Amino acid sequence: MASVLQEFKQFAIKGNVMDLAVGVIIGGAFSTIACCCCARFAIS
């Protein structure tokens, strides 16, 4: 039973790290798109 709990903890930690990485990538892309749009409207 302890090994199942340990495996679940490892899975949960890996899952959280992947979610965090995806969130950072999406956030960075959204920030870049928002800056480009704002700059384009400000120049026009």
pLDDT band at 25 (very low <50, low <70, confident <90, very high): very high
Which pLDDT score is estimated for 26?
Answer: 93
How far apart CA 15 and CA 9 sit, in angstroms, is: 10
At residue 34, φ and ψ (nearest 5 deg) are: -65, -40
Would the pLDDT of 44 be above 70? no
Which pLDDT score is estimated for 38?
Answer: 82
Which pLDDT score is estimated for 43?
Answer: 66
**Greater model confidence, 31 or 17:** 31
SS (H, E, C) the chain: CHHHHHHHHHHHHHHHHHHHHHHHHHHHHHHHHHHHHHHHHHHC
Q: Is pTM, for the whole model, over 0.85?
A: no
Averaged confidence pLDDT in the chain: 80
